[in-house]
Chains A and B, each alone.
Chain A
Amino acid sequence: MSNAIELQDLHYRAGKSFAFTNLNLHVPTGSIYGFLGPNGSGKTTTIRVVLGLLRPRAGRVTVLGRDMPADAPSILARTGFVPEQPHLDPTLTVRETLRFQAAFYPSWDRTWAEQLLRSFDLDERLPFGRLSKGQKGKVMMLLALAQRPELLVLDEPTDGLDPVVRRDMLTALVDYVSQREATVFISSHLVHELERICDWVGVMDNGQLITELPMDRFKSGIKRLQVVQAPPDLAGTPFTLLARESNGGACESWIVRGWEPEMTMYFDGIGASLQTVIDLDLEEGFVELLRTFRAPRG
């Protein structure tokens, strides 16, 4: 399987407080890759490195099979980008903004841009600076989609937008991906939103990629187990124990990763009893993963 984005042993430092060391990340071609992480974890910095806006100290960045930043213009011609903060000329009207963007992209689809303009219900005569936050988000998405990119890089595109605008934007995104089989690299705080559309997930915290795996494995592998009479010391668990909390009495709640149904046998071996296995959704899995990652290691 080829990768649309590949970061290898990336080193980057921004001031004294933030750095990546040995960051490795792989976004499979054709996937919708959800990039999760709390504020300040390095998501936007990673995206800026991917787009050649920031230059790493060491390591290799490959995007659509080419080296970034050496081949930046040819990569950017095939990449649509929606940034966290809209950054367009506030004096240009929506129509002028479209004309400006179209001049730089040979693959610009004029017909589809017009369709999106209508379906997003945007007033083409208004200057970009006078649009609402939701309208600005729609314009950014329109510009990214109308250039018919092979890769879409979206940095918290729906952050702070109302549910209707979010739905409109994500619908347009999913429609495009289904038509074109493009790769999408999307960062967001809205975990439930990513859960609906993504087939791969990467979790970042404090400049490190904690995990990167297909969404179904991520979701099925993290479980909450209700365990009774577990011994205090555990050895040789076949899964990774992320968290262990007492529910009062002999009952405990465990958060585990890498769970498989046949692992119930393990509890017989340690003299404990497994009462229930509960599926965690992406948000719960994400929170537990971060909690474990941040817990002091003994």
Chain B
Amino acid sequence: MFRVILYSQWKWSRFIIGLGTVAGFGLPILSVQSATRTGDHPLQAGELLQTIQSWGALYPVLAAALAVLVAIATWAPDHRGRHVHALTLPLPRWRYALLRFGAGLALLAPPVLAVLIGAGLATALAAIPAGLQGYPVALAARFALAVGVGYAVFFAISAGTTRTASAILLVIGALIVIQVVARVAAVDLDVVTRLQILLVNWPGPLAIFTGRWMLIDV
């Protein structure tokens, strides 16, 4: 069962996976290459860290993009058929959802591996100044975790019906309205910032996406 579901999802998400794998492989190599191209002189530690940090912002973006697109592609065949085929298959609904989830997760493995290989190559081939070292495995592990968390969140959201999506939008809309009303009434209430802190700061579910993504660090 897993094999046929994996194949069906592969047909929907192969372009995303292909692009994600190329980007995942290229990103660490490009980040180190761009630092070495800044001049003929040997790499300066400060300069290198600055370049690596600025490129580092792209890892969570790539992880989030992959997570969202693969999660959408995971449910796409079922949404197209209004879930009738899936719901008439002879297996419990939770098991079907688990198979879909697992297949999507398996398809995300190539981009994660590409980040690991790209990061490993980039750090192995670069002359890293003394006092600094490469963290390809840690970066790839963090990328894998970010992709996994993002995929799980968006898998759950995109599994929902139009009614669920409307409910989510309604909650977001209500929060904005509350915020605007609070500001107009000069009430000390900052719902949006609090929600952002709750989601993005540790132990919020999206904390993995924030902070510094450094391939080379002290």
Partners in one complex: yes
Residues of A with Cβ closer than 8 Å to B?
51-53, 72-77, 79, 81, 83, 85, 87-92, 96, 99-100, 103-105
User: Closest Cβ of chain B: how far from A97's Cβ, in Å?
Assistant: 9
CB contacts between A and B, total, < 8 Å: 55
Q: Known contacts A76-B89, A89-B8: does B1 contact A104 (CB below 8 Å)? A: yes
In the bound complex, do residue B90 and residue A73 qualify as a contact, i.e. CB atoms below 8 Å apart? yes
28 A-B pairs with C-beta separation under 8 A: A51-B87, A53-B84, A73-B91, A74-B90, A76-B89, A76-B90, A77-B90, A81-B88, A83-B84, A85-B84, A87-B81, A87-B82, A87-B84, A88-B81, A89-B11, A89-B77, A89-B81, A90-B77, A90-B80, A91-B8, A91-B11, A91-B12, A96-B7, A100-B4, A103-B1, A104-B1, A104-B89, A105-B90
Q: Is the CB of B88 within 8 A of A51?
A: yes
The reply to whether A104 and B90 contact each other, CB–CB distance below 8 Å, is yes
Query: CB-CB < 8 A to B11: which residues of A?
Result: 89, 91-92
Chain A residue contacts of B82, Cβ below 8 A: 87
Determine which of B4, B77, B88, B91 lies in contact with A99 in the assembled complex, contact meaning CB atoms within 8 Å: B4
Residues on the A chain within 8 Å of B88, using CB: 51, 53, 76, 79, 81
Q: Note all chain B residues with C-beta closer than 8 A to A76.
A: 88-90
B85 CB–A CB distance under 8 Å: yes
Given A73-B92, A90-B80, A92-B11, are A103 and B85 also a contact pair (CB < 8 Å)?
no
Majority SS of interface residues in chain A? loop
Q: Which 10 A-B pairs have the closest CB atoms?
A: A87-B81, A77-B90, A76-B90, A89-B77, A87-B84, A103-B4, A100-B4, A91-B11, A87-B85, A73-B90
Roughly how many angstroms separate A51 CA and B83 CA in the complex, as a whole number?
13
Query: In the complex, A92 Cα to B76 Cα: how many Å?
Result: 13
B3 within 8 A of A: yes
CB of A104 within 8 A of CB of B85, answer: no
Minimum Cβ distance to chain A for residue B165 (Å): 19
Q: Which residues of A contact B89 (CB under 8 A)?
A: 76, 104
Interface residues on B, range: 10 to 19
A86 to B145, CA, bound (A): 38
Q: Determine the chain A residues whose CB is within 8 A of the CB of B85 once the complex forms.
A: 87-89
Q: Kindly report which residue of chain B lies nearest to residue A140, judged by CB atoms.
A: B85
B98 to chain A, nearest CB (A): 14
Residues of A within 8 A of B3 (CB): 103
A50 to B148, CA, bound (A): 38
- Docked pose: A242 CA to B74 CA in angstroms: 55
Task: A269 to B77: give the CA distance in the assembly, Å.
Answer: 68
Task: Please give 15 more A-B residue pairs, beta carbons under 8 A apart, in addition to A74-B90, A77-B90, A87-B80.
Answer: A51-B88, A72-B92, A83-B84, A87-B85, A88-B85, A89-B8, A89-B77, A91-B11, A91-B77, A92-B8, A96-B7, A100-B7, A100-B8, A103-B1, A103-B4
- The smallest beta-carbon distance between B163 and chain A, in angstroms, is 12
Pairwise interchain contact A89-B80, C-beta atoms closer than 8 A: yes
B87 neighbours in A (Cβ, 8 Å): 51-53
Q: Which residues of A contact B84 (CB under 8 A)?
A: 53, 83, 85, 87
Distance between B99 CB and nearest chain A CB, rounded to angstroms: 10
> For the complex, what is the distance from the CA of A73 to the CA of B95, rounded to whole Å?
11
B8 touches A104 (CB 8 A): no
Contacts of A79 in B (CB 8 A): 88
Complex interface: chain A residues within 8 A of B90 (CB)? 73-77, 104-105
Determine how close the nearest CB of chain B comes to the CB of A143; give it in whole angstroms.
9
With a CB–CB cut-off of 8 A, which chain B residues contact A99?
4
Cα distance A113–B77 in the bound complex, in angstroms: 23
Interface string of B58-92 (1 = CB under 8 A from A): 00000000000000000001001110110111111
In the bound assembly, the distance between CA atoms of A40 and B209 in angstroms comes to 50
User: Complex Cα distance A55/B141, Å?
Assistant: 43
Please report the C-alpha to C-alpha distance between residue A155 and residue B104 in the assembled complex, in whole angstroms. Answer: 32
